[in-house]
């Protein structure tokens, strides 16, 4: 199987291939760039060829207003020599923090295609990972450490997720549904190992166990 990174245009360069092959090791180094990538993706989505003109007419001014407010506000209260470093630090810190909260919950977990027939419970539980660590970890991660419960009950207030977790775990145990829960450092270790594996070998190590049973050879 052709490694995933070889199919990406930016990986046609020597530097791009090296980054992709070691993306797990470079995971924490690349996190600060993720917010900048979100801004670029937003601009590409609004002005892309597939965006309907009506949506573009509405979203383009809103996007310009947001970007102008984000960058312009810094130059209003700070001189340029301080505004630029501030924006760089803000982007780096917010990108690192945002992705550091999201990454441990899904990367390296089993995956199933959009057309796979799975009930709601298994689709949410099998493909998510909880991060244990107590109330301080929950607070630092904005409740995303209880990702399984968050996916099952997206409208549930954050403080209630902790109360729901034992009920969900007991229910999964009774019905034989694997319930993944690990510490924060272990979760990051799984993320790094998975990204390195995909970069080197080109295929995910994990396949949804239910999909394997229902669709042999998937």
Kindly tell me if the per-residue pLDDT of 11 is higher than 60: no
In terms of Cβ atoms closer than 10 Å to its own Cβ (0-12, 13-18, 19+), residue 99 is: buried
Segment 209-215 shows an average pLDDT of 44
Q: How far apart are CA 3 and CA 34, in angstroms?
A: 23
Residue 116 banded pLDDT, cuts 50, 70, 90:
low
Number of Cβ within a 10 Å radius of residue 214: 13
The predicted model scores a pTM of 0.67
* Domain spans, the chain: 4-103, 105-214
pLDDT at 97 over 50: yes
| pLDDT band for position 208 (cuts 50, 70, 90) | very low
Q: How far is CA 122 from CA 114, 161, 173, in A?
A: 14, 18, 12
Residue 130 β-bridge partners: 181
Stretch 118-129: mean pLDDT, rounded?
A: 86
More confident residue, 188 or 8: 188
DSSP conformational letter for 2? -
- Taking only the tens place, the pLDDT of each residue in 25-66 is 888 888 888 888 888 888 888 888 777 877 888 888 998 998
Average pLDDT, integer, range 183-198: 85
Average pLDDT over residues 13-17: 74
pLDDT of residue 218: 38
What pLDDT is attached to residue 93?
A: 92
Q: What is the pLDDT of residue 212?
A: 46
pLDDT attached to residue 141: 84
Phi, psi of 68 (to 5 degrees): -65, -40
């Amino acid at each position: 199987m052709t490694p995933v990174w070889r199919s990406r245009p930016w990986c046609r360069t020597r530097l791009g291939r090296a980054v992709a092959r070691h993306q797990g090791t470079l995971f924490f180094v690349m996190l600060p760039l993720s917010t900048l990538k979100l801004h670029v993706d937003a601009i590409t989505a609004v002005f892309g060829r597939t965006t309907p003109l009506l949506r573009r007419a509405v979203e383009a001014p809103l996007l310009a207003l947001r970007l102008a407010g984000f960058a312009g506000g810094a130059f209003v209260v700070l001189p340029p020599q301080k505004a630029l470093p501030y924006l760089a630090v803000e982007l780096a810190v917010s990108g690192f923090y945002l992705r550091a909260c999201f990454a441990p919950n899904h990367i390296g977990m089993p995956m199933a295609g959009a057309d796979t027939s799975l009930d709601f419970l298994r689709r949410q539980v099998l493909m998510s990972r909880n991060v244990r660590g107590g109330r301080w970890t929950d607070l630092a991660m904005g409740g995303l450490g209880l990702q399984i419960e968050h996916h099952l009950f997206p409208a549930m207030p954050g403080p209630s997720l902790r109360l729901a977790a034992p009920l969900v775990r007991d229910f999964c145990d009774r019905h034989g549904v694997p319930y993944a829960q690990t510490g924060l450092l272990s979760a990051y270790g799984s993320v790094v190992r998975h990204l390195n594996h995909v970069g080197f070998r080109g295929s995910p190590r994990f396949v949804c166990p239910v999909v394997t049973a229902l669709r042999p050879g998937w």
